[in-house]
A and B are shown apart, each in its own frame.
Chain A
Amino acid sequence: MPDIQSPLPGTFYHAPSPESDAFKKPGDAVEASDTIGLVEVMKTFIEVKAEVSGTFEGYVAGNAEPVQAGDVLAKVG
Chain B
Amino acid sequence: MAIRKLLVANRGEIAVRIIRAAQSLGIGTVQVHSEADADMLAVRMADEAICIGPPPAGQSYLSVPALLKAAKDTGADAVHPGYGFLSENAGFARAIADEGLVFVGPDADIIDRMGDKAEARATAIAAGLPVVPGSKGRVEDAAQALAAAREVGFPVLIKAAAGGGGRGIRIAHDEDELTRLAPQARSEAQAAFGDGGLYIEKLIVNPRHIEVQILGDGTNAVHCYERECSLQRRRQKVWEEAGAFGLSETTRQAICKSAVDLARAVGYHGAGTVEYLYDDTSGEFYFIEMNTRIQVEHPVTEMVTGIDLVAEMLRIAGGAPLSIKQDAVAVDGHAIEVRINAEDPLRQFMPFPGKLQSMRVPEGGGIRFDHFLYDGYQIPPFYDSLLGKLIVHAPGRADAIDKMAEALEKLELSGLKTTIPLHKALASSEDLRAGRVHTQWLEPWLAAGNLTETA
Q: A and B bound?
A: yes
Contact between A43 and B383 (Cβ–Cβ < 8 Å)?
A: yes
User: What are 6 inter-chain pairs, A to B, with CB distance below 8 A?
Assistant: A8-B353, A9-B353, A41-B381, A42-B343, A42-B351, A44-B385
How far does the alpha carbon of A44 sit from the alpha carbon of B342 in the complex, in Å?
A: 12
CB-CB under 8 A for A8 and B351, given A42-B383, A43-B384: yes
Q: Does B319 reach chain A (CB closer than 8 Å)? A: no
* B55 surroundings in chain A (CB, below 8 A): 11, 66
* B343 surroundings in chain A (CB, below 8 A): 42
Considering the complex, give the chain A residue whose CB is closest to the CB of B349: A44
* A-side interface size class: 10 to 19
CB-CB under 8 A for A11 and B56, given A42-B385, A43-B385: yes
* A66 surroundings in chain B (CB, below 8 A): 36, 55, 382
Considering the complex, give the chain B residue whose CB is closest to the CB of A9: B381
* B-side interface size class: 10 to 19
* A9 surroundings in chain B (CB, below 8 A): 353, 381
Question: In angstroms, how far is the closest chain B Cβ from the Cβ of A48?
Answer: 14
How far does the alpha carbon of A23 sit from the alpha carbon of B380 in the complex, in Å?
A: 26
Q: Does A10 reach chain B (CB closer than 8 Å)? A: yes
How far does the alpha carbon of A43 sit from the alpha carbon of B385 in the complex, in Å?
A: 8
How far does the alpha carbon of A8 sit from the alpha carbon of B381 in the complex, in Å?
A: 9
1/0 per position for B270-295, CB-CB distance to A under 8 A? 00000000000000000000000000
* B353 surroundings in chain A (CB, below 8 A): 8-10, 41-42
1/0 per position for A4-39, CB-CB distance to B under 8 A? 000011110000000000000000000000000000
* A44 surroundings in chain B (CB, below 8 A): 350-351, 385
How far does the alpha carbon of A64 sit from the alpha carbon of B56 in the complex, in Å?
A: 9
* B381 surroundings in chain A (CB, below 8 A): 8-11, 41-42
- Residues of A at the B interface (CB closer than 8 Å) are 8-11, 41-44, 46, 64, 66
* A8 surroundings in chain B (CB, below 8 A): 351, 353, 381
* A42 surroundings in chain B (CB, below 8 A): 342-343, 351, 353, 381-385
Question: In angstroms, how far is the closest chain A Cβ from the Cβ of B39?
Answer: 15
Considering the complex, give the chain B residue whose CB is closest to the CB of A64: B56
Considering the complex, give the chain B residue whose CB is closest to the CB of A66: B55
How far does the alpha carbon of A32 sit from the alpha carbon of B342 in the complex, in Å?
A: 29
* A43 surroundings in chain B (CB, below 8 A): 383-385
How far does the alpha carbon of A44 sit from the alpha carbon of B381 in the complex, in Å?
A: 10
Q: Which of A41, A42, A43, A46 has the most CB of B within 10 A?
A: A42
Question: In angstroms, how far is the closest chain B Cβ from the Cβ of A9?
Answer: 4
How far does the alpha carbon of A64 sit from the alpha carbon of B54 in the complex, in Å?
A: 12
Question: In angstroms, how far is the closest chain B Cβ from the Cβ of A4?
Answer: 18
Considering the complex, give the chain A residue whose CB is closest to the CB of B35: A66
Contact between A41 and B351 (Cβ–Cβ < 8 Å)?
A: yes
How far does the alpha carbon of A9 sit from the alpha carbon of B56 in the complex, in Å?
A: 13
**Besides A41-B353, A44-B350, A46-B351, 17 other A-B contacts (C-beta < 8 A):** A8-B353, A8-B381, A9-B353, A11-B55, A11-B382, A41-B351, A42-B342, A42-B353, A42-B381, A42-B383, A42-B384, A42-B385, A43-B383, A44-B351, A46-B350, A66-B36, A66-B382
Considering the complex, give the chain B residue whose CB is closest to the CB of A7: B350
Considering the complex, give the chain B residue whose CB is closest to the CB of A43: B384
Question: In angstroms, how far is the closest chain B Cβ from the Cβ of A23?
Answer: 20
Question: In angstroms, how far is the closest chain A Cβ from the Cβ of B114?
Answer: 24
How far does the alpha carbon of A60 sit from the alpha carbon of B40 in the complex, in Å?
A: 30
How far does the alpha carbon of A24 sit from the alpha carbon of B145 in the complex, in Å?
A: 48
4 closest A-B pairs (Cβ-Cβ)?
A42-B351, A42-B385, A9-B381, A10-B381
1/0 per position for B373-407, CB-CB distance to A under 8 A? 00000000111110000000000000000000000
How far does the alpha carbon of A9 sit from the alpha carbon of B384 in the complex, in Å?
A: 13
How far does the alpha carbon of A9 sit from the alpha carbon of B381 in the complex, in Å?
A: 6
Question: In angstroms, how far is the closest chain A Cβ from the Cβ of B286?
Answer: 29
* B351 surroundings in chain A (CB, below 8 A): 8, 41-42, 44, 46
How far does the alpha carbon of A44 sit from the alpha carbon of B382 in the complex, in Å?
A: 10
How far does the alpha carbon of A48 sit from the alpha carbon of B448 in the complex, in Å?
A: 28
How far does the alpha carbon of A44 sit from the alpha carbon of B55 in the complex, in Å?
A: 16
1/0 per position for B45-63, CB-CB distance to A under 8 A? 0000000000110000000
How far does the alpha carbon of A1 sit from the alpha carbon of B343 in the complex, in Å?
A: 33
How far does the alpha carbon of A43 sit from the alpha carbon of B351 in the complex, in Å?
A: 9
Question: In angstroms, how far is the closest chain A Cβ from the Cβ of B363?
Answer: 28
Considering the complex, give the chain B residue whose CB is closest to the CB of A10: B381
Question: In angstroms, how far is the closest chain A Cβ from the Cβ of B165?
Answer: 16
* A64 surroundings in chain B (CB, below 8 A): 56
